Amino acid sequence: MNKPLRRVSVFCLILIAALMLRANWVQVVKADDYADNKNNRRAAYEKYSHPRGDFLVEGKPITSSVKTDDRQYEYLRKYEFGPMYAPITGYISPYIGSNLLESIEDDILSGKDSRLFVRKVLDTVTNKGTRGGNVALTINAKAQEAAFNGLDGKTGAAVAIDPDTGKVLAMASTPSYDPNVLAQNDRNAVAKAYDGLTLDTSKTRKTPDTNFDPKKPMDNRAIRYTYAPGSTFKLVTAAAALSSGDFKPDTVPNVPLVGGKLFYPNSTQFLPDSHPTECAGATLQKALELSCNTVFASVGQQLSQEKVKAQADAFGFNNFGKGTNQNPLDIPSRVAPSVFPAGLDQGQLMRSSIGQDSVASTPMQMAMVVAGIVNNGKVMKPYLVDELRAQNLSVLEKTQPQVANQAITPEVAQMLQDMMKGVVENGTGKSARIPGVTVGGKTGTAQRGVKNSEPPYAWFVSYAKGADGKKVAVAVVVEDSDAERNEVSGSSLAAPIAKAMMEAVVKK
C-alpha cells in the first residue's frame, strides 16, 4: 500500500474509532442524563405507555390505570378515593410531575425498578404487556375513613400509629383535594386545576404567628405543618418529671402561688388555670386530668429546661439531621421537624413546659409520643409502605420495624398510661371513652396568634387497647372549624375524631 492510501486508511480508522467512542458515550455514559432530561418527552410518553402499578390498602387497590385514545399518554392514573388518600399517595400528572409516594416509589410503580426486569421480560414473551409493580400501604381502611370523615368541614389533621411496629394506620389532612383533576391529559385543564389548588384567592385570613395559609388543600398538615401542641405536651413534661425520680403520680408538686396565682418571674403577669381551685395542691395525676397549667409550668422550672428538652428530644423533637443519632424522619415522605427550643428564660420555660411559647409539633410527632408511652417507652420509626410487590404480587421488599429510641423506661411508661387513663375516666377526656376498651388520652387547647387573638388549636392525643391486645396511638388537631371560639376545645372537637379512629382499629 502506497503512502497516501495508508494515510487515508489510518484517518478513516480514527474517524470510525471516534464515532464508536461517541456512540458508546451517548448510549452508555450519558444515557441516564438524556433519559432524565426534563425536555425529553419520550421518557414521559414511555411511562404512560403501559398501566402504572397500584397502591394497595389491605390488599385492595385504591388506584388504577385508565386506557385512553391519546397516542402519547395511553394510560392515565385514576384515584378511586381521591381526597381521602391524597395526603398519602400524592399525585402524578403528565404535565406537572408528581409528589409524595407517587414520586418516591416511582421506579416500582412505573416498572423501571431493576428487580422487575425478569417479570417484564416474561410478560413481554407471553404477550401480557408491561405493567408497574405495586406498593402495599400500612393503612387501616376503616381508620383512614374515620379520620377523613371526622375532619370533614374542618381544617386539621389526624394520625394513627401501631405502637408495636410504627405502622401508620391512618393519616388524614383537610381540606384535601382530588388528584384526578391533575391526572388528566388536557394540559389547559390541569393548569387551571393546579392554579385553583395552589393560588388561593378565597383566603379570608392568614394567622399572624405562622407562615402558612390555612386554606391550602395540597399541603399535608399531618407531617408538614407544626403547631403549638398546648396541653398535650404536658405528657412530655410529665415523662421528664417521672424519669427524674423526684416525682410520682401521687406527688404534690411545689407550686409557688401568690394569692392563688402563679406569676411569671419579675412580672405582674400570671399563668391562668381553667380549674384554679382544684389545681391548687393537686397531685401530678390530678393535674394531668384537669390539665393544670400552674402545676406543669412549675414542674418544668424545677426540672430545668435541659431535662425537659432532653425528654422532648428522646421522643423525636429537634430532629434536624445533625449528628449520628439525628436523622430527618422519612416515612418515606419527609416529616417536618418538631421543635422544643433551647436558651429559654424562666418565663419561657414555664410556657414551653405546657406546650406554648416556641414549642411546635407535627401531629405525627405527638402520635409518636403517645405510641412510645403505650409501647413501654420504646418509640418505633413510623412508616407508610409495608411492601413493594412485583406485577404478580410477589414481595420484592418488606419494611422491617425499627426502634427509633427508648424514650422512657417501661416503669415510667406504665405510670403515664395510667395517668392518661385517668384523664379519660375522670378528667377532660371523657368524650373519648369506648365501652370495653382501655383508653387513655390528653386534651389540648393551644393558644394562637398575637396575644391569643386567633381561635385556638384543638388537640387530642390518645391510645386504645382492645380486649385482644390490639393497640393504637392517635393524634388529632383541629385548626379551624365552624365552632364558636368559646366552644373550641380538644375534648369537644378533636376527641370524637380520635375516638372513631381508635374504634376502627381495636373494636371488632
pLDDT tens digits, 40-66: 666 677 788 889 999 999 999 999 999
Q: Is 195 exposed, middle or buried (0-12, 13-18, 19+ CB in 10 A)?
A: exposed
pLDDT at residue 60 in the model: 97
Give catalytic residue positions.
231
Q: What is the pLDDT of residues 204-230, one digit of tens each?
A: 444 444 444 547 899 999 999 999 999
Q: What is the largest CA-CA distance in the chain?
A: 116
CATH number of 226-385+401-506: 3.40.710.10
**Rounded to 5°, angle at Cα 349 from 157 and 161:** 25
Give the chain's residues under pLDDT 70: 1, 26-43, 118-129, 200-214, 320-326, 449-453, 481-488, 508
- C-alpha 10 chain-centroid distance: 65
C-alpha 318/C-alpha 248 separation (Å) is 27
Q: What is the pLDDT of residues 108-140, one digit of tens each?
A: 999 988 888 766 666 656 556 678 999 999 999
Phi-psi region of 67 (alpha: psi -120 to 50; beta: other; left: phi over 0): beta
C-alpha 221/C-alpha 217 separation (Å) is 9
pLDDT at residue 392 in the model: 83
pLDDT at residue 312 in the model: 98
pLDDT at residue 214 in the model: 47
pLDDT at residue 13 in the model: 81
What is the value of pTM for the model shown? Answer: 0.88
C-alpha 81/C-alpha 442 separation (Å) is 31
pLDDT at residue 2 in the model: 74
Domain ranges in the chain? 226-385+401-506
